[in-house]
């Protein structure tokens, strides 16, 4: 309902923001959920709000859906809440990484973001969510450096690199910083990425069949779902639980 999408390889139709998808049923379920890819909606299959939608309806708006009033306000706050909840995913992972020197800072940041998610509609609307994301991103950058091998990390710096369609099977990417890298359609078959940082990397149609991503940092379920996987693709446990094994 809230997001807009344009007819493309990800969506079969155009839909403006705030207009119900024609496949949305009265019970809020998707009428073609089991056939999304076949019907031309792979973008829906890989989308994940990280629980932001549930938080907005059940907590922020006290159990009221957009059908029960204030739809414009709820739609405007969804991107804010989603960014906060995505930050919670990353910070929760950071607490599990072997970087004890930073765990206290991570716990403080996690508690801070959790408090923000409980704010009123007015408080969320006034929040500088971009500044909050930058602060979390800076902290996660320091976590990543230590977890990947000390100051500066332990692999090549490929942040925001243009790697679309590249054959990367012979590149040593173990411990690489691939933050924000464009890996659309890249060939990563059988590659061991070690502790590579994949925060924000675009993995749409990347071929990761047989690849080992099990120790990668900050990989999310939407990223994994967008890649081309099979049963031999190894993912982090939390991501496997969310998207399945292949």
**Residue 80 resides in a domain:** yes
Given a contact cutoff of 8 angstroms between Cβ atoms, the answer to whether 193 and 213 are in contact is: yes
Single out the residue in 104, 130, 147 at which a domain terminates.
Answer: 147
d(CA 164, CA 197): 17
Look up the domain containing 88 and give its range: 48-147
- 234/163 same-domain check: yes
What is the per-residue pLDDT for 68?
75
What is the per-residue pLDDT for 126?
97
Stretch 76-102: mean pLDDT: 96
- 102/136 same-domain check: yes
Percent over 90 (pLDDT), the chain? 73
**Residue 218 resides in a domain:** yes
| HSE-up (13 A, CA, CB side) for residue 165 | 0
Say if residue 152's pLDDT is above 60: no
What is the per-residue pLDDT for 42?
85
Give pTM, 2 decimals: 0.86
**Residue 226 resides in a domain:** yes
**Residue 18 resides in a domain:** no
Pick 72 or 131 by higher pLDDT: 131
Select from 160, 166, 174 the least CA-distant residue to 211. 174
Say if residue 242's pLDDT is above 80: no
Single out the residue in 147, 165, 188 at which a domain terminates.
Answer: 147
- 166/90 same-domain check: no
What is the per-residue pLDDT for 153?
60
What is the per-residue pLDDT for 3?
82
- 142/217 same-domain check: no
**Residue 110 resides in a domain:** yes
Lowest mean pLDDT among 59-63, 95-99, 153-157: 153-157
d(CA 118, CA 195): 33
Given a contact cutoff of 8 angstroms between Cβ atoms, the answer to whether 159 and 180 are in contact is: yes
CATH number for the domain spanning 217: value is 2.160.20.80
Number of structural domains the chain divides into = 2
The string of pLDDT tens digits covering residues 175-212 is: 999 999 999 999 999 999 999 999 999 999 999 999 99
If phi > 0 it is left, if psi is from -120 to 50 it is alpha, else beta; for residue 77 that is alpha
Helices (H) and strands (E) in the chain, counts: 8, 0
CB-count exposure of residue 200 (10 Å: 0-12, 13-18, 19+): middle
Specify the length of the chain in residues.
Answer: 246
**Residue 15 resides in a domain:** no
Pick 83 or 74 by higher pLDDT: 83
């Amino acid at each position: 309902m809230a997001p807009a999408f344009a007819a493309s390889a990800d969506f079969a139709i155009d839909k403006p923001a705030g207009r119900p998808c024609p496949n949305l049923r009265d019970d809020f379920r998707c009428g073609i959920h089991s056939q999304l890819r076949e019907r031309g909606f792979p973008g829906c299959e890989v989308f994940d709000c990280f629980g932001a939608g549930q938080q907005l309806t059940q907590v922020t708006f006290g159990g009221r859906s957009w059908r029960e009033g204030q739809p414009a306000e709820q739609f405007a706050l969804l991107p804010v809440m989603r960014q906060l909840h995505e930050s919670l995913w990353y910070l929760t992972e950071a607490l599990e990484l072997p970087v004890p020197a930073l765990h206290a800072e991570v716990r403080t940041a996690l508690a801070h973001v959790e408090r923000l998610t409980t704010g009123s509609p007015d408080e969320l609307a006034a929040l500088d969510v971009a500044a909050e994301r930058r602060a979390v991103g800076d902290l996660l950058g320091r976590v990543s450096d230590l977890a990947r091998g000390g100051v500066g990390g332990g692999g090549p710096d490929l942040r925001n690199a243009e790697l679309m369609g590249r054959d990367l099977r012979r590149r040593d990417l173990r411990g690489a910083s691939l933050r924000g890298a464009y890996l659309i359609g890249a060939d990563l078959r059988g590659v061991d990425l070690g502790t590579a940082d994949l925060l924000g990397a675009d993995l749409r149609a990347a071929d990761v069949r047989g690849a080992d991503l099990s120790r990668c940092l900050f990989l999310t379920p939407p990223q994994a779902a967008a890649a081309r996987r099979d049963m031999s693709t190894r993912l982090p446990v939390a991501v496997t639980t969310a998207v399945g094994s292949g």
